[in-house]
Structure 1
Amino acid sequence: MLQEYTNILVPVDGSYGAEAAFEKAIAVAKRNNAHLHIVHAIDTRTFQDISSFDTEIINDVTSESKERLEKYVKEAHAAGIQQGDYSIEYGAPKTIIAKDLPKQMQTDLIMIGATGLNAVARLLVGSVTEYVTRNAQCDVLVVRTTMKGDSISAKQASKKVE
């Protein structure tokens, strides 16, 4: 029997790896007539280290994220996705993506890029993708190639999409 997915979660952070995961998530959601939820998790811990923390910083990050996510939703709808939405979450991306959102949204598939933007955090506290694959209670598909089948190098994956 072929696995059918009804609720797909795709985290994005502006990296090439996340972009590839998003593109593949559209294809899978379309094939399964699934709901596609796009999320950007803002790691609020990074702001705690800024001595002159100003709420303006978080407002700017949120505004930029909202703009990017709205573009993704329009792209998904244009590709034929009937049910697609987004959210901006605040906290620890690892637990938001692996545990919190999948439980809230009854996610049955997480499609995530192999690496994201934050190489320093990956070295110090481990990869979000690695944590998600170990801790999510649903299927996780780690995207390592583009829709054309080209491999995404770690260096390329961590670069921001313009």
Structure 2
Amino acid sequence: MENNYTNVLVAVDGSEEAKLALNKAFTIAKKENAHLFIAHVIDTRTFATVEQYDRTVVTRAENYAKELLEEYKAEAEKAGVTNITTVLDFGSPKVKIPKDIAKTHEIDLIITGATGLNAVERILIGSVSESITRNSKCDVLIVRNQ
């Protein structure tokens, strides 16, 4: 049987929802014998004014992201995934994940956790998972539970 997915991207942010998506990504990557990309995007829009006064905030966010990606890579290896790449990027996750990272790595499946936002927050700012779904050229799997 031919594999359906060769390059699988899972978007992570350290949340419980992202952890569920990560575990689902392990299963799919092993089943499909796919290359797993574990990506975290540091949302620089939140640092726009802070960075002018305190560069250490950005440095802490970057260090946290690197540690998170290394931890998740180790978990993927422990789960039996053999081909893993971590991706750390800066900008808007809503744009970077579906348009830049997915295109650069020729992703054919993006996996993301469901949002924790309530209905009012989604109307005002929109969720990352919703934006990924709208803007992706490939399949998207939004994970809500185990």
TM-score computed with the length of structure 1 as normaliser: 0.82
Q: Quote the residue 1:50 is aligned against.
A: 50
How far 1:29 sits from its partner (Å)? 0.2
State how far apart, in whole Å, the 2-side matches of 1:58 and 1:122 are. Answer: 26
Percent identical pairs in the alignment equals 48
5+ residue gaps, structure 2, are none
**C-alpha contact (below 8 Å) 2:3/2:32 kept by paired residues:** no
Given the alignment of the two structures, is residue 100 of structure 1 paired with residue 100 of structure 2, yes or no? yes
Match of 1:79 in 2: 79
1:19 and 1:93 map into 2 onto residues whose CA distance is: 17
- List per-residue Cα deviations over 1:16-35 (Å, max 9, x = no partner): 11000000000000000001
What residue in structure 1 maps to residue 27 of structure 2?
A: 27
The one-character-per-residue Cα deviations of 1:31-63 (angstroms, maximum 9, x if unpaired) are 000010001111101011337532211111110
1:127 pairs with 2:127: yes
Q: CA RMSD in A?
A: 2.3
2: CA distance between counterparts of 1:6 and 1:85? 13
CA contact 1:43–1:93 (8 Å) conserved in 2: yes
Give 1:112's aligned residue.
112
What residue is the counterpart of 1:154 in the other structure? Answer: none
How many Å separate the matches in 2 of 1:86 and 1:51? Answer: 25
How many angstroms does 1:126 deviate by?
0.7
Q: Which has the higher helix share?
A: 2
CA distance in 1, matches of 2:48, 2:74: 33
CA contact (8 A) 1:47 1:53 kept: no
Q: Quote the offset at 1:127 in angstroms.
A: 0.6
Residue-by-residue CA offset, 1:71-125 (whole Å, 9 max, x unaligned): 10011011111101211110011011111111000000000001158x9974532
Contact 2:51 2:58 in 1 (8 A): no
Number of residue pairs aligned between Structure 1 and Structure 2: 146
Tell me how far apart the structure 1 counterparts of residues 51 and 140 of structure 2 sit (CA, whole Å). Answer: 37
Q: Aligned in 2, Cα 1:75/1:120: closer, same or farther, shift over 3 Å?
A: farther
- Residue equivalent to 2:65: 65
1:13/1:116 contact within 8 Å kept: no
Under a length normalisation based on structure 2, what TM-score does the superposition of the two structures give? 0.91
Structure 1: state its 5+ residue gaps: 147-162
